[in-house]
Chains A and B, each alone.
Chain A
Amino acid sequence: KQEVTQIPAALSVPEGENLVLNCSFTDSAIYNLQWFRQDPGKGLTSLLLIQSSQREQTSGRLNASLDKSSGRSTLYIAASQPGDSATYLCAVRQAGTALIFGKGTTLSVSS
């Protein structure tokens, strides 16, 4: 059974810092890995999708990497801003099923 773990559960940083969120998964037979953002009480916004054949994806200040063999992904946020404060969710998809989510990392960026 696939399990997805995110560390840390919560993170507080001052504005301007670069930071890394971690995601690990137990079964490397995945189709893709996705990072989502969720604001309190709101829906999910897709940030980045990395296909199993890819190593990384970038969007603006965000960079996500994937090491399928070791079951790890990282989300790097450069020059953090208060508007980045949210919960970040990692999810993996395997053949014939839906996304399996980690519990998320709640990020707080102070000005």
Chain B
Amino acid sequence: DADVTQTPRNRITKTGKRIMLECSQTKGHDRMYWYRQDPGLGLRLIYYSFDVKDINKGEISDGYSVSRQAQAKFSLSLESAIPNQTALYFCATSEGGRAADTQYFGPGTRLTVL
């Protein structure tokens, strides 16, 4: 079973709809992250959370919100989806802040906003 799972894997929605993307992890990590990827632009950080009570904005948080329901769950919401939010969204986790700690990524959610 995958350590970091994302649901749904694919979603098509219309402009103005509210959308929630969910991320769950079984790695027992405290830190979780949401990124979006657009063609040719690499990954850009939306929000990150270092523990259940800690939420931080990333580079491109406008138009998004997050909820850290538990150590293992981190959800990303688009309150009113717009077409330029069409992208591939990745959730990631990491154990802590040591130099040896890597980030583990989920399989991604492909979101299309019409």
Residues of A within 8 A of B (CB): 4, 9, 31-32, 34, 41-44, 46, 49, 51-53, 89, 91, 95-104
Binding site for A on B (CB under 8 A): 33, 35, 40-45, 48, 56, 58, 88, 90, 92, 97-108, 110
Distance, CA A95 to CA B101, complexed state (A): 12
Contact A43 B107 (CB under 8 A): yes
Q: Which of A43, A44, A52, A89 contacts B99 (CB 8 A)?
A: A52
| Contact between A51 and B102, CB atoms less than 8 A apart | no
* Chain B residues positioned under 8 Å from A53 (CB to CB): 99
Q: Is the beta-carbon distance between B99 and A32 smaller than 8 angstroms? A: yes
Q: Is the CB of B99 within 8 A of A100?
A: no
Give the Cβ gap from B24 to chain A, nearest Cβ, in Å. 15
**A104 in contact with B107 given A32-B99, A32-B100, A43-B90 (CB within 8 Å):** no
Query: Nearest Cβ distance between residue A87 and chain B, in whole angstroms?
Result: 9
Q: Are B99 and A98 in contact (CB under 8 A)?
A: no
A31 and B40 form a contact (CB under 8 A): no
Known contacts A44-B90, A98-B33: A31-B97 contact under CB 8 Å:
yes
